[in-house]
Amino acid sequence: MRALTHADFLSLWEKGRGLHPLDQGLLAIHAAFPEARETVADWPLGQRNRALAELHCSYFGHALEGWTSCPQCGEKLEFNMDGRALAEQPQSQHAEPIVIHGQSFRLPASRDLARAALERGAAADPDAAAVRLLRACRVDGGDDAGQTWSEEELEEAGEKMAAADPLAEIVLNFQCPVCEAACHESLDLPTFLWAELEALARRLVMDVHALASAYGWSEREILALSDTRRRLYLEMVSA
Ligand SMILES: [Zn+2]
């Protein structure tokens, strides 16, 4: 992984502002792993998630902390996951196509998800979106245009895909301490990482503003300061 400076993070944030979270995740990987620029959109999602977790561990700490709301009573349910458990998990070496009902499929990648997100109605009908995703990943060249998938078949397909690429979806399980409802939620790593990156970028811009106003230094000079020195100067400015 390439070492990213504060200036790199600021320009990454600027480039990714307003993009779809999928693209923000890919941009972050481009910046940290430039050698993967051409291929990352075709990586299985587990490989993408591992790279994002590695980035998080290096720059934002090992703890992936956040919260969700209990779907039943609205109680705030917090989670704290160790990002190293994701970053250090070996890449699944699943080179074989996944066979479901005699048809062969490869693992879905970011490019497939982006295409599925672009198609109308994807959000309205999750089953139709799953079928489109399966079609996009079919590798045996068969024609399935008229084929229908039952809910059970889709579930089986999902389970086989998950077994072949366990990090593709990171599922968090919760039990509400108030109403005891059990629920689960997927952790979307691109969104999660981008929120951290955005917070960092905003902090940096405010620091630049404060120090440039006080000392007349350029943005480049201020971003080149170590965290310790920047904080010390900021303390003096606000004293
Ligand atoms: Zn609850």
Does residue 4 sit in the same domain as residue 86? yes
Does residue 11 sit in the same domain as residue 64? yes
Q: What is the distance in A from the centroid of ligand 1 to the CA of 179? A: 4
The two tokens of residue 201 are 């970028």
Q: What is the distance in A from the centroid of ligand 1 to the CA of 148? A: 37
Sign (positive/negative) of CA torsion 90, 27, 190, 111? negative
Q: What is the distance in A from the centroid of ligand 1 to the CA of 175? A: 8
Give 179-225 pLDDT, tens digit per residue: 999 999 999 999 999 999 999 999 999 999 999 999 999 999 999 99
For residues 197 and 21, the answer to whether their CB atoms sit within 8 Å is no
Higher-pLDDT residue of 117, 176: 176
pLDDT band at 124 (very low <50, low <70, confident <90, very high): low
On whether residue 169 sits in a domain, the answer given is no
Least confident of 85-99, 147-161, 200-214: 85-99
Q: What is the distance in A from the centroid of ligand 1 to the CA of 112? A: 35
Nearest to 6 by CA among 211, 191, 208, 189: 208
Question: Can you tell me the mean pLDDT for 136-140?
Answer: 89
Q: What is the distance in A from the centroid of ligand 1 to the CA of 72? A: 5
* pLDDT more than 90, % of the chain: 74
pLDDT at 93 over 80: no
pLDDT band at 119 (very low <50, low <70, confident <90, very high): confident
Q: What is the distance in A from the centroid of ligand 1 to the CA of 130? A: 29
For residues 82 and 63, the answer to whether their CB atoms sit within 8 Å is yes
Q: What is the distance in A from the centroid of ligand 1 to the CA of 181? A: 6
Domain boundary among 131, 164, 197: 164
pLDDT band at 107 (very low <50, low <70, confident <90, very high): very high
Q: What is the distance in A from the centroid of ligand 1 to the CA of 169? A: 24
Q: What is the distance in A from the centroid of ligand 1 to the CA of 67? A: 13
Does residue 131 sit in the same domain as residue 47? no
* Residue written as token pair 């990002």: 83
On whether residue 170 sits in a domain, the answer given is no
Does residue 76 sit in the same domain as residue 104? no
pTM of the model: 0.91
On whether residue 173 sits in a domain, the answer given is no
Q: What is the distance in A from the centroid of ligand 1 to the CA of 151? A: 28
Q: What is the distance in A from the centroid of ligand 1 to the CA of 182? A: 8
Q: Report the pLDDT value the prediction gives residue 140, as an integer from 0 to 100.
A: 86
Does residue 185 sit in the same domain as residue 74? yes
**Whole domain around residue 14: which residue ranges?**
1-92+178-233
Where helices occur in 61-95 by DSSP H, the ranges are 83-87
Question: Can you tell me the mean pLDDT for 84-88?
Answer: 93
Q: What is the distance in A from the centroid of ligand 1 to the CA of 77? A: 8
Q: Around 17, how many Cα atoms within 13 Å sit in the side-chain half-sphere?
A: 10
CB-based burial, 103-132: b 16+ in 10 Å, e otherwise: bebbbbbbebbeebeeeeebeeeeeebbbb
For residues 75 and 148, the answer to whether their CB atoms sit within 8 Å is no
Give 53-81 pLDDT, tens digit per residue: 999 999 999 999 999 999 999 999 999 99
Mean pLDDT of all residues belonging to the chain = 91
Q: What is the distance in A from the centroid of ligand 1 to the CA of 170? A: 22
CA distances from 133 to 42, 45, 205 (A): 14, 13, 40
Q: Report the pLDDT value the prediction gives residue 135, as an integer from 0 to 100.
A: 87
- Structural domain tally of the chain? 2
